């Protein structure tokens, strides 16, 4: 059986990838659009928002709705906090050609992530790399970390998905068509159990697509020895960042600093002794 063929059905894909997905926008002055090509597939264009070659890099897999323009403003906030942001994209979204599908998302993430890492190195960016996935983007985030854990310092999940069937039913797929075994679906319980790097999970208290209880299962299944879980009051599935605002971005930067050993008690003690 073709991987994810039970999910990649026209009726389901129409719900997973809305027609207005990732509307393109002109590249801002503090960013650069980079096209990556692998094999026979067409190019995929990612957007890199830069601030400092030595600063942490947030490799961000977004939800399948929204626009690059809306993310431009968010990336600016990350930049003010001292983080570079590498925004991934998907087939059939924004300026990218092709048709979106779950199997394609996974395949592209596997091929394009190493190319993006090589590009960053070639441009002199040496900051620690963190993977973040928002909503459906958590599929690629979790898979990328499983396959590239040695290159990644930490993982951040926003509005993450645990069960395949429960999520599909929540977005409108019939119970019969959503009856997909986890081994043929996202299989996040088994995948996240393999991830040992520090993990930070955010979820909306009013999320009607993925209940908080599902997010708690994701947190419980995580194999990370260092993991944090925050429920954002008043936030729905696609409004976690908006509702959390600067405090959420600050929490992500603090998470990155802690993982990298910046502003830890050991560093402060060392600095105190040297004065």
Residue range 1-43, pLDDT digits in tens? 568 999 999 999 999 987 655 566 788 999 999 999 866 677 8
pLDDT digits (tens, 9 = 90+) for 82-109: 999 999 999 888 778 888 899 999 999 9
In a domain, 4, yes or no: no
Instruction: Find out whether 87 and 71 touch, Cβ atoms under 8 Å.
Output: yes
In a domain, 181, yes or no: yes
β-sheet bridge partners, residue 36: 44
Query: Which domain does 62 fall in, by range?
Result: 10-274
In a domain, 5, yes or no: no
pTM of structure = 0.92
269 pLDDT more than 60: no
Mean pLDDT, residues 203-229 taken together:
96
User: How far, in Å, CA of 247 to CA of 243, rounded?
Assistant: 9
Domain CATH number, residue 143: 3.40.50.1820
CA distances to 53, 86, 209 from 50, rounded to whole Å, are 8, 8, 33
pLDDT digits (tens, 9 = 90+) for 234-265: 999 999 999 999 999 999 999 999 999 986 54
In a domain, 160, yes or no: yes
- The pLDDT score that the predictor gives to residue 268 is 47
| Percent of the chain predicted with pLDDT > 90 | 79
Mean pLDDT, residues 37-65 taken together:
89
Instruction: Find out whether 161 and 185 touch, Cβ atoms under 8 Å.
Output: no
Mean pLDDT, residues 163-174 taken together:
95
In a domain, 189, yes or no: yes
206 pLDDT more than 70: yes
In a domain, 2, yes or no: no
In a domain, 144, yes or no: yes
Nearest to 57 by CA among 65, 46, 67, 66: 46
In a domain, 207, yes or no: yes
Highest mean pLDDT among 19-28, 62-71, 158-167: 158-167
131 pLDDT more than 60: yes
**Number of separate domains in the chain:** 1
Q: What angle do CA 59, 62, 64 make, to 5 degrees?
A: 155
């Amino acid at each position: 059986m073709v991987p994810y063929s039970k999910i990649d059905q026209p009726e389901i894909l129409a719900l997973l990838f809305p027609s207005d997905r990732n509307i393109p926008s002109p590249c801002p002055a503090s960013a650069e659009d980079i096209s990556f090509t692998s094999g026979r597939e067409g190019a995929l264009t990612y957007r890199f928002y830069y601030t400092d070659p030595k600063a942490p890099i947030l490799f961000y897999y977004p939800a399948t709705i929204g626009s690059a323009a809306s993310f431009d403003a968010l990336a600016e906030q990350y930049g003010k906090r001292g983080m570079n942001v590498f925004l991934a994209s998907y087939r059939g979204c924004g300026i990218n050609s092709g048709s979106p599908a779950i199997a394609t998302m996974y395949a592209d993430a596997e091929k394009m992530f190493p190319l993006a890492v090589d590009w960053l190195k070639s441009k002199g960016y040496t900051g620690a790399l963190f993977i973040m996935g928002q909503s459906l983007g958590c599929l690629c985030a979790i898979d990328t970390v499983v396959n590239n854990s040695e290159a990644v310092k930490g993982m951040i999940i926003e509005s993450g998905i645990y069960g395949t069937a429960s999520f599909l039913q929540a977005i409108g797929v019939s119970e019969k068509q959503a009856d997909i075994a986890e081994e043929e679906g996202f299989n996040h319980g088994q995948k996240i159990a393999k991830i040992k790097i520090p993990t930070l999970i955010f979820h909306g208290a009013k999320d009607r697509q993925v209940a908080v209880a599902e997010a708690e299962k994701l947190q419980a299944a995580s194999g990370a020895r260092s993991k944090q879980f925050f429920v954002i009051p008043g936030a729905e599935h696609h409004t976690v960042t908006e509702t959390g605002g600067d405090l959420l971005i600050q929490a992500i930067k603090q998470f990155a600093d802690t993982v990298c050993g910046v502003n830890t008690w050991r560093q402060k003690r060392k600095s105190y002794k040297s004065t």
